Amino acid sequence: MIQVENLVGGKFSTTEEIIDDISPLNGEVIASIPRTRSVDDAVAIASSAQPEWGALSIADRADWLDKIADALEERIERIAELESLDTGKPYEVSRNVDAARSVYNFRFFAAFGREQKQEIFEMDDATNFVLRKPIGVVGLISPWNLPLYLMTWKIAPALLMGNAIIAKPSEITPLTAHYLGQVCTEIGLPDGLLNIVHGYGPEVGQAIVEHPDIKAISFTGGTATGRIVAATAAPMFKKLSLELGGKNASIVLADADLDKTVPGVLRASFLNSGQICLCGSRVLVHSSIHDEFMQRYLKELESFEIGPVISEEHRAKVLSYIELAQKEGGVILAGGNIPNKPGAWIEPTVIGGLSHASRTATEEIFGPVVTIHQFDTDEEALEMANCTEYGLSGSVWSESRGREIAEQIDSGMVWVNTWLHRDLRVPFGGVKNSGVGREGGTWSLDFFSEAVNICVHEG
């Protein structure tokens, strides 16, 4: 049993009431988590630690990010083990996706920070100097699907820009955030800069969003929660970055190279048991190649390894969509069953025969469930791709026209002949109900700072 504790001002502590952390692999309790309700102490400590940190140069803070990256890299196997224990994902995925990217988030922002040059705008009689000042104390709230990966995606740029942090990981997957706190304490990151509080979203998460001294909120999670976060934070004029849900399309054009396309689309469908906001949960295939594509896709699916979904509760939601699909006229082409073993396992499921406008094909399921749709013209494919309330990502598979089609998809990020191929300098975020704002590269630096202009007259 692991005892997860809050990290506030460099000290670990728990609360009287605790929450159980349950393994999706077998339903056993693996850890206890504090049930925090207030962040007043953490914010007071963060506010007093921030000015000294904010006064360092960006290069000095970048050195700290590299120190954190080094320390995490030395412990990468442990991070992967903890992530697999908490989420149930295969060790290879935890090691090569979650843990590797968590290290890289710090490395990337360290190097990117050092490259920054001060922006200067000359006028005939004056010079403008643009400063990026720290915001102060920022609140970072992250979900359970890529726990440390998404948490560090926020922590690294927030620290780089001179802020102090109140971070809240998902109560379903707190282990790696706790471990990160231990590592940062061990290497001597100044106390009070990285405060990590645990508990339920509507309690401690809400307390973060409501706190008047937390001036910016970066949130990744469900669209319904994002709406609550926005409703609370907007009237307080907080900076807000919301990375929300998706229902992304993988579009396979008639000239797609199926040797590359089939494994690529399959990975987009089922990586992390389909629990990535960027997953391609709707596959749109040109009718001329539909049969061959499906035969190869279903064949390769047989050897695609996935873990359970995050919890039995979440599995019930996923199953309810498989039932709904059948009521909507869908035909199960693969999977659909629960394996006979403990834990939150469910077979990867492929459904055909549904209208692209059905609920199953337009609502976010966030599990290993994919719907297949056929189209004859580009217009039809685009109509299908753009018909949901979401607009996060997408992919187009074609030997000649991928970019042309990609530009017509209403989504924040579209890949051509690849998926989840990430350059951390590019903007990351969604349109429509998939979110507000962008992170990544300069967009993260902008979000986690206040741009201030000093205009010096030379008269």
Residues with catalytic roles: 243, 277
Looking at beta carbons only, is 112 or 144 nearer to ligand TXE?
144
Length of the chain: 459
Residue 143 within binding range of ligand TXE, rule CB under 6 A: yes
> What CA–CA distance (Å, rounded) separates 16 from 240?
32
Instruction: Name which of 434, 436, 414 is nearest 249 in CA terms.
Output: 414
Residue 87 within binding range of ligand TXE, rule CB under 6 A: no
Report, in Å, the least distance between residue 309 CB and ligand TXE. 9
Looking at beta carbons only, is 35 or 67 nearer to ligand TXE?
35
What residues from 244 to 283 belong to the interface with ligand TXE (CB under 6 A)?
Answer: 244-245, 277
Please select the residue that binds ligand TXE; options are 64, 153, 366, 390, rule is CB under 6 A.
Answer: 366
Measured from each CB, the residue nearest to ligand TXE is 201
Report, in Å, the least distance between residue 313 CB and ligand TXE. 9
Report, in Å, the least distance between residue 304 CB and ligand TXE. 21
Percent helix, strand, coil in the chain, to 5, is 40, 25, 35
User: Residue 391, SS3?
Assistant: strand
Looking at beta carbons only, is 166 or 372 nearer to ligand TXE?
166
User: Residue 449, SS3?
Assistant: strand
- Buried b or exposed e, range 361-382, using 16+ CB within 10 angstroms: bbbbbbbbbbbbbbbeeeebbb
Looking at beta carbons only, is 46 or 208 nearer to ligand TXE?
208
In the numeric block, the tokens 């995490």 are attached to 72
What residues from 207 to 246 belong to the interface with ligand TXE (CB under 6 A)?
Answer: 209, 220-222, 225, 228-229, 243-245
Q: What is the CA radius of gyration of the chain?
A: 23
> What CA–CA distance (Å, rounded) separates 130 from 451?
7
Report, in Å, the least distance between residue 80 CB and ligand TXE. 20
What residues from 149 to 208 belong to the interface with ligand TXE (CB under 6 A)?
Answer: 168, 170-171, 201-202, 205-206
Report, in Å, the least distance between residue 276 CB and ligand TXE. 7
Tokens of 293: 């594509």
Looking at beta carbons only, is 218 or 225 nearer to ligand TXE?
225
- CA–CA distances in Å: residue 208 to residues 80, 168, 169: 28, 9, 12
For ligand TXE, the binding residues (CB under 6 A) are 141-145, 168, 170-171, 201-202, 205-206, 209, 220-222, 225, 228-229, 243-245, 277, 364, 366
